[in-house]
Amino acid sequence: MPTPAVRIQRTGGPEVLEFTEVEIGEPGPGQLLVEVAAAGVNYIDTYQRGGLYPVDLPFVLGLEGAGRVTAVGEGVTEFAAGDRVAWQGVPGSYAGRTLVPASSAVRVPENVTDDIAAATLLQGITAHYLVSSTYPVQEGDAVLVHAAAGGVGLLLTQLAKAKGARVIGTVSTEEKEQLAREAGADEVIRYDQVDFAEATRKLTDGEGVAVVYDGVGKSTVDGSMASVRRRGMLVLFGNASGAVPPVDPLRLNAAGSIFLTRPKTLDYTATREELDWRAGELFDAVAEGSLKIRIGGTYPLADARQSHEDLQGRRTTGKLLLRP
């Protein structure tokens, strides 16, 4: 059956996104057919569109969404038509309908809306694994969060705060500074105006932070390395400003025997139990109001191009959604 979708046939700038119709078949074994209520826009979508992360073409973009199951394939016992589900890490989500492996779907609690569910999962799971597994944040740790008013940034700030960290955020505008503070950042550095590594050292009495969560990449990596305390950790988890060039291991030695890691969500949702644990804690926190989800913009599916332009133009805060 035909469904509206946003597809690329070649890689490039936002102009290669085409709003079109694609055929979606019946759900195969282990799959759900879902009517998409909202699709999440993520920075990774721009890497796939631009060619930094290679995909097979043609490709329907979008890795995340929420909606209602309309049919299930053979062997699916845990979901049925009518169920509300959310998913992340599943290509083809910028569409009116899509096929989702049951193994990647999670049930959306009654008191969480489709929009909030679509806005929570991918960036939320990322923030969750970063603070609880990659570098398990301890009470009293000083933590540096780049792009603290972004989708992942606002969630990271809140989750690190909830673990008792002292959060130092970086942002590029006054509005973003305000949002980072509202999310709980103790200090906010305007890294567009000052040397953030110097400012971080000053704020930590020269010691540096226990961990830097850096999703900005190319433009921040050197400063991030200079901000980590002795034997601390630099977590490079993205490349919003561009890919990071190769790092000589001796630089980790010179920076104070620091640890460097480059994680991805797939490796932190490797089992059904792990996915359910992270998604469950996030949805519980959202439902009880301790985790706030900021939807910074909602665009019609046909305007996906605008959402990419805004995201890459650093004009957005929180989560962007597409509405089929």
Binding site for ligand NDP (CB under 6 A): 42-44, 122-123, 126, 147, 149-153, 171-172, 176, 215-216, 219, 237-241, 263-265, 311-312, 314, 316
Of the two residues 24 and 145, which places its CB atom closer to ligand NDP in the complex? 145
Q: Give me the least distance between CB of 229 and ligand NDP, in Å please.
A: 23
Minimal distance, residue 279 CB to ligand NDP, in Å: 14
**Taking the mean position of all CA atoms in its chain, how far away is CA 223?**
22
The neighbour count for residue 225, using CB atoms within 10 Å, is 22
Phi, psi at residue 298, to the nearest 5°?
-125, 130
Partners of residue 235 on adjacent β-strands: 213, 261
User: Do residues 176 and 149 make contact, with C-beta atoms less than 8 angstroms apart?
Assistant: yes
The 8 Å CB, 24+ separation contacts for 285-289 are 286/112, 286/116, 286/120, 287/109, 287/111, 287/112
Q: Which is nearer to ligand NDP, 216 or 228 (CB)?
A: 216
Cβ-proximal residues to 302 (8 Å cutoff; 6+ apart), any chain: 4, 19
Is 103 or 172 the residue whose CB approaches ligand NDP more closely? Answer: 172
- Min dist CB 42 to ligand NDP, Å, is 4
The nearest distance, CB 56 to ligand NDP, in angstroms, is 20
Provide, rounded to whole angstroms, the least separation between the CB of residue 130 and ligand NDP.
Answer: 8
Is the Cβ of residue 6 or residue 33 nearer to ligand NDP in the bound state? Answer: 6
- CB-nearer residue toward ligand NDP: 3 or 317: 317
Q: What is the DSSP letter of 134?
A: I
**Closest distance between ligand NDP and the C-beta of residue 25, in Å?**
29
How many other C-beta atoms lie within 10 A of the C-beta of residue 246?
4
SS3 state at 245: coil
Residue 306: phi and psi, rounded to 5, are -60, -40
**Rounded least distance, CB 205 to ligand NDP, Å:** 26
Toward ligand NDP, which CB reaches closer, 3 or 48?
Answer: 48
Closer residue to ligand NDP, CB minimum distance, 98 or 265: 265
Residues 6+ apart with CB under 8 A from 11: 49, 50, 51, 57
